[in-house]
Amino acid sequence: METWVRFNSQSQAKERLCRAAQYACTLLGYTLQKGGAGADLLMTVKQLESHMSLTRKLMRLGNSAEAVESAKRAVHLSDSVLRLCITVAHLNKAMYFACDNVLWAGKTGLLPKLDQDKWSQRSFRYYLFALILSLTRDAYEIGLLMERESRCCGSAKASLSSTPVALTPENGDLPTTPSSSASPSPPPLLIPTIPSLPMLSLRLRKQVRLLAVVLRSNPPLLLDLLKNLCDIVIPLDRLGLYPTGNGFVGACGLASSVLSILTILHPWLKLKP
């Protein structure tokens, strides 16, 4: 199995390039249509796009086995949420690739009586589930990192506020009210009130800032999140759940392909596990 995975990974980079080219054709076709180009040119671009799509299906003929192998590896992860998300995402991807292989057989004429629309919808559904699980995993990792970051920040702030008291013991003042110099301490018994709007916006701004800090210090996570967000547009459009149009789908597909080419060129940018 290891040999097959190593052998197969050599063609994955070319498959990513083909994907980028395919979605660039989608975007180009949309732009040309809006710009009022001739039917001949549009036909050529459409033919090129379908040729790239068929070739990619040929290149991906072995990916089902690879996805099952990745799922087998993910079953041994220690964190239960990550274990669930990643394993189920890989299994869904394996099903997506299996449907994709069947579609390839149908398109090349091996299975002429195949209902291509049905299998296409099926494959997009599996792809959508896999993407939802990947996004859940991203959200979970972001949540963990934000919690860790806020704890670090909180403990750092607490140590900073306690140092002025420790520095002046000869005053004889007991540190009963350490924050008396800073701000008036709140009353001990608080009646639970609905937080006001400025407080909510302050809290929201703090969370957004924390999110920005976490994402900036974790480029693999940021890349994976952006890639999954771009990718999810495609099945949402193709399944008719949130139609956006060929132009937007092409742009998002192209962006996610470029990001995945970046992770191949710079392996440290790949999110692990």
Partner 1 sequence: MKLQSLESNMSSGRKLFRLGNTINSIDAAKRTLVLSDPILRCCLTVANLSRALYFICDNVLWARNIGLVRDINKERWSLNATRYYFVSLVMNLTRDVYMMAQLMVQRSRDRCYQQKLHQHLNENPDVACVVVPQLDALVFLLIECLKSNPAVALDTVKNLCDLFSPLDRLGVYQTNAGVVGFCGLLSSLLGILSVLKPQLKIKP
Closer CB to partner 1, 17 or 221, in the complex: 17
Please, what is the minimum distance in Å from the beta carbon of residue 7 to partner 1? 6
If one asks whether residue 112 binds partner 1 (CB under 8 A), the answer comes out as yes
- Do the Cβ atoms of 182 and 118 come closer than 8 Å? no
Question: Among 47, 116, 162, 180, which residue sits at the site for partner 1 (rule: CB under 8 A)?
Answer: 47
If one asks whether residue 59 binds partner 1 (CB under 8 A), the answer comes out as yes
If one asks whether residue 58 binds partner 1 (CB under 8 A), the answer comes out as yes
If one asks whether residue 110 binds partner 1 (CB under 8 A), the answer comes out as yes
- Do the Cβ atoms of 233 and 135 come closer than 8 Å? no
Question: Among 1, 5, 9, 14, which residue sits at the site for partner 1 (rule: CB under 8 A)?
Answer: 14
* Size of site (CB under 8 A) for partner 1: 20
If one asks whether residue 48 binds partner 1 (CB under 8 A), the answer comes out as yes
Please, what is the minimum distance in Å from the beta carbon of residue 45 to partner 1? 10
Summarize as ranges the residues that interact with partner 1 (CB under 8 A): 3, 7, 10-11, 14, 18, 43-44, 47-48, 51-52, 54-55, 58-59, 108-110, 112
